[in-house]
Structure 1
Amino acid sequence: MNTGWQTQDRFLELHSQWLTVIGEHLQDETGQILEYWRVEKADSVIILPIQNQQLILLPPTYRPGLGEKTLDFPGGRVPEGEKAVTVVPKILQRELGIPAETISQLTPLNSQGWAVNSSFSNQKLFGFVAELQPTVQIPANFIGAIYPINHDSIVSLLNTLICLQCRAMLLEWWFELTQ
């Protein structure tokens, strides 16, 4: 599909292990030259771990962009060449201290991934629900909060979560569950 937009030049490309920042001049369909900035990042995964009809969240983690600790679901980046579904067990091992075989069911919330910020970034967000075996012991130092799965508890959790990605996955899951 020809959008009529053309890249005129790339005046900056800055790489780090976490992201690439790109500055470009683009010509729009009217001929106007515009300066655009974008960030290329690896795709992300957010996982809603459920055990015994309870959502498990991580201990609050410091977020430099906010300058404070936030309560979040487990999540992480999808390395280049891997599929989102293959990183879920690795993330749960790292962030909840549980082996892959303790996941009794893994359900994707979105199979294509959602654009995190389509005008600024190429990053997609994938969500999964991981049903954990009822008897698996999650080490206490890996648990930040536990929320029972009911309306009042989900409303309380939504009032607590700051991360929009975590909120989006929770709302998507809750919407599907209550339909």
Structure 2
Amino acid sequence: MTSATPQLDLTIQKAIGKANRDSAPSSHDIRRWALAALQGDAEVTVRLVGAVEGRELNRDFRGKDYATNVLTFVYGEGEALLQEVEMPLTGDLVLCVPVVVREAAEQGKPLEAHFAHLVVHGMLHLQGYDHEVAGEAEEMEALETRILATLGYPDPYA
């Protein structure tokens, strides 16, 4: 049963070198951002990676041969239905640090705000939100904007 306040079992992996480590957000911030977007109990791993691993994962799982900012992997979606029990959401977020750093600079956004946006964005994907069609994209973007505002960050789409 889901508790009134969602519980987050969070693991953070930093598979990055020194240069990327200096740009990466703190574990405390990642937890704060993930919790802000959480709507139910979850077990999540956030993995910070460099460009090589980011590109490999995007190529192997999405068929796109370049590193992207965030990848979301959801596990066990059908298991709860088969077992007719409520299970915590389980998944991984992979953030490619050099891509996030580059995008923040190109878009003139504070790096921390861009990382916060991508963690919130990924957490919403884990919970079933998507942006492939216009109506869903508007709903997801509005929710992201509201969550980020509660955290003190500006509208990432402005």
TM-score when normalising by structure 1? 0.28
More strand by percentage: 1
More helix by percentage: 2
TM-score when normalising by structure 2? 0.30
